[in-house]
Structure 1
Amino acid sequence: MRVVLLFAFLSMGIISAQASAPTEAEHWQTPASWSAQTLARYQHLLGTLRCLVCQDESLAASSAPLAADLRRQIQHKIGQGQTDQQIRQYLVDRYGDFVLYKPPFKPLTWALWVGPFVLLLLGLLVVWIQARRSRRPHPESAGLDARSLALSEQLLSDDQGEDRR
């Protein structure tokens, strides 16, 4: 009985999620009066902007409701005659630099641009330090006095003698 109820709830969740997702026609619905150049500009702009919900998809590829709303806003702004730069600036003012796939190089985004290289250099430094440490003799064996060294040699020779028998 529990399995049937679980299956029913999961089915309802999948159906409701599919019902709220935009259809393919809604996804790319653009004004019919647009020229091929305006449509190409619109698609290029969508390709350079990040979906705020999916984060790894462009507005062009995303099926999230927020992405559909942003596409409609961009269409409206293109219809008002705004430039790509004005539209990008509007979105950055509203959502921050994260909406851009290529955020500008400024103090707030230095970590995004420089961070991966700093982490790579730190990783190489750790590997280099570990390699140097492994080549150095261990301090325990470096400070043996003559008596301890003779005793260790005697123990080693006794063990080798037993192995020959």
Structure 2
Amino acid sequence: MQEDYERQLTFSEEAKEQAVSETTEYYEGQKAELEARLKQIEEEKEYLQREHKETQRQIEEDADQEILDVKNKYERRLRDEVEANMRLKGETGIMKKKFATLERERKEQKEEIQRLHGEENKLRSVIRSLEKDAVTYLIVYNSRFSQDIVQSWDFGGLLSV
């Protein structure tokens, strides 16, 4: 019996060792698979992180470039508007000077026209006065001339009374 017991014990120990060995092999296989899977996942994670960083860098680079483009565009626009504003201010100054000059010339011409109207009125009154004098002289002249004619004609002694 003891032999049986020892044999069973040996068999049991061998079975136990074989079970432990099989279990160890099984779990070591599982461990190897999981480690391979973990390594694959870590490599994939590292690849995705690199890809993410590159994508993020490109997005930031594109955003920075777009910001610079927009900034340059609006700076150009602002510069153009400032230049246009300065040009318009200059033109406004020139136009104000031209307007002042034209307004002064208009006033001078208006004064000249008024002066000429006054002079015209004086000349018209002189002309009327001269016309009156001429009419008076004509009347006087005609009356004297007609008396001389009448006296020089002999109406058959009718006039000499």
Relative to its length, the structure with more helix (as a share) is 2
Structure 1 and Structure 2 fold alike (TM over 0.5): no
Q: Which has the higher contact order (CA 8 A, sep 6+)?
A: 1
TM-score (norm 2): 0.29
